[in-house]
Amino acid sequence: MTDTLCYLDGDYLPLAAARISPLDRGFLFGDGAYEVIPVYSRRPFRIGEHLARLQYTLDGIRLPNPHTAAEWRERVERIVAAAPFADQSVYLQVTRGADDKRDHAFPPGVPPTVFIFTAPLTTTPDSVRAAGVAAVTALDNRWLRCDLKVVALLANVLARQHAVDQGCAETILLRDGFMIEGAASNIFVVKDGVLLAPPKDHRMLPGITYDVVLELAAGHGVPHQVREIPEAELRAADEVWMTSSTKEVLAITTLDGRPVGGGVPGPLAQRMHGWYQRFKDEVMRRG
Ligand code: PDD
């Protein structure tokens, strides 16, 4: 992995050779934005949407975008082409750069730090997909701009570790009695054949996979509602799914130690997984 090519501030170099300043504001303050883009057969999936969300985050943290969308694509394509694996997860990050001192306020005239690297896409083993995964709940103690994909992820890190400590795959975050999202995923609920999704607002990350799932639901005539989901509805759900660029659509079959629905992936989760795979294949074939 460490000899794969990465991009850092204008240079292409082996990942192991990349160096940044300890005064970088990403390191000191978590002052930056990032994206994770899945790549199938060396083709980035929904890169336009990922780059639009990056722009949204950069606008939200008042950091000028150092590159046009075309420049981003060109850099990502070069990293993807050089990797020795075809299915990848591309990570890109922009921070507010390294000043010569530590001061919270924005440093004038400091160029941003731009970093891109790729890793093999880790897919969910069939046995795990067939059984579904376990999740726990926790109170959401993050800030009120969870719609921004920023590198300051400590609350998400602690929430995810809370799941791992209990042998679970994800922590579902609850705020003011409502289900918000997972530590690193969006969450869907199915009740009586209706797919429910929480609304995209400042409390959750507007997932690219979330959008694909809702498009597929609409396209296949699945009844669905985008609205607040009270905790009680989460606990009474027939199905609960987590979605993300790397997990795709994954059924949660145990919540806080109790089975979700029948305790196995539900019928709609299985159909959505199939539609998602077909959709991906079609998009990748079209290019
Ligand atoms: N995380 N919500 C949170 C808090 C996330 O971190 C993610 C993804 C999602 C799903 O977004 P998308 O469908 O666009 O991947 C929702 C990425 C994968 C990560 O941080 O590694």
Q: What's 154's domain CATH number?
A: 3.20.10.10
Same domain, yes or no: 44 and 69: yes
3 state DSSP class of 38: strand
- Mean pLDDT value across residues 262-271: 98
Q: Average of pLDDT values for 249-276?
A: 98
Nearest CA residue ID for atom 11, ligand 1: 207
Ligand 1 test: best mutation among 36, 140, 150, 200, most atoms within 8 Å of CB? 36
14 and 139 in a common domain: no
Type of residue numbered 233: E
Residue 284 pLDDT level (bands cut at 50, 70, 90): confident
Quote the crossing angle between the two packed helices 47-60 and 69-82, to the nearest 10°. Answer: 120
Q: Are residues 155 and 174 in the same domain?
A: yes
- Residue with CA nearest ligand 1 atom 6: 184
Q: Are residues 171 and 92 in the same domain?
A: no
Q: Do 116 and 130 have their domain in common?
A: no
Task: Give the active site residue among 149, 191, 200, 280.
Answer: 149
Nearest to 180 by CA among 160, 204, 163, 211: 204
- Which residue minimizes the CA distance to atom 16 of ligand 1? 185
Query: What pLDDT, on the 0 to 100 scale, is given for residue 285?
Result: 73
Give the residue from 62, 96, 120 where a domain finishes: 120
Question: Which run of H or of E encompasses 179?
Answer: strand 178-182
In a shared domain, residues 97 and 237: no
> Do 98 and 144 have their domain in common?
no
Q: Tell me which residues have their CB closer than 6 angstroms to ligand 1.
A: 36, 156, 181, 184-186, 205, 207-210, 243-246
Q: Out of 89, 90, 122, 244, give the residue to mutate to test ligand 1, the one with the largest number of ligand atoms within 8 Å of its CB.
A: 244
pLDDT at 1: 64
How many Å lie between the centroid of ligand 1 and the Cα of residue 96? 22
Active site residue 200: no
The answer to whether residues 142 and 253 belong to one domain is yes
Residue 43 structure tokens? 């083709």
Residue 2 clears pLDDT 90, i.e. is over it: no
Q: In which residue are the tokens 């409502």 written?
A: 178
Supply the CATH number for residue 114's domain: 3.30.470.10
Q: Chain centroid to CA 244: how far?
A: 5
Residues 94 and 142 both lie in one domain: no
**CA separation for the pair 232, 155 (Å, rounded):** 24
Give the mean pLDDT of 186-203.
98
Average pLDDT over residues 63-73: 98
What is the number of structural domains in the chain?
Answer: 2
Residues 199 and 280 in one domain: yes
Mean pLDDT, to the nearest integer, of 193-211?
Answer: 98
Q: How confident is the model at residue 287 (pLDDT cuts 50, 70, 90)?
A: low
Q: How confident is the model at residue 69 (pLDDT cuts 50, 70, 90)?
A: very high
The reported pLDDT for the residue numbered 3 is 86
Query: Do residues 117 and 28 lie in contact, with contact meaning Cβ atoms separated by under 8 Å?
Result: no
Contacts of 19 (CB under 8 A, 6+ apart): 8
> Quick one: which H or E segment has residue 161?
helix 154-165
Question: What percent of the chain shows pLDDT beyond 70?
Answer: 99
One domain for residues 113 and 134: no
Check whether residue 250 and residue 115 sit in a common domain.
no
Burial (CB < 10 A; 0-12, 13-18, 19+), residue 16, is: exposed
Residue nearest to atom 3 of ligand 1 (CA): 184
Q: How far apart are CA 100 and CA 104, in angstroms?
A: 13
Please report the pLDDT score of residue 283 as a whole number.
85
Q: Binning pLDDT at 50, 70 and 90, where does residue 28 land? A: very high
Of 105, 120, 135, which closes a domain?
120
Q: Which among 68, 89, 120 is the end of a domain?
A: 120
Q: Mean pLDDT in the chain?
A: 97
> What average pLDDT does the segment 192-219 reach?
98
For 132-141, what is the mean pLDDT?
98
Instruction: List, in sequence order, every residue forming a beta bridge with 119; answer none if it has no partner.
Output: 89
Average pLDDT over every residue of 108-131: 97
Q: Taking Cα atoms as reference points, which of 169, 189, 35, 32 lies closest to residue 113?
A: 32
Indicate which atom in ligand 1 lies nearest the CA of residue 146: 4
pLDDT given at position 218: 98
Structural domain that includes position 251: 126-285
* Residue 4: pLDDT over 80: yes
Is the pLDDT assigned to residue 240 strictly greater than 70?
yes
Secondary element (H or E) of residue 81:
helix 69-82
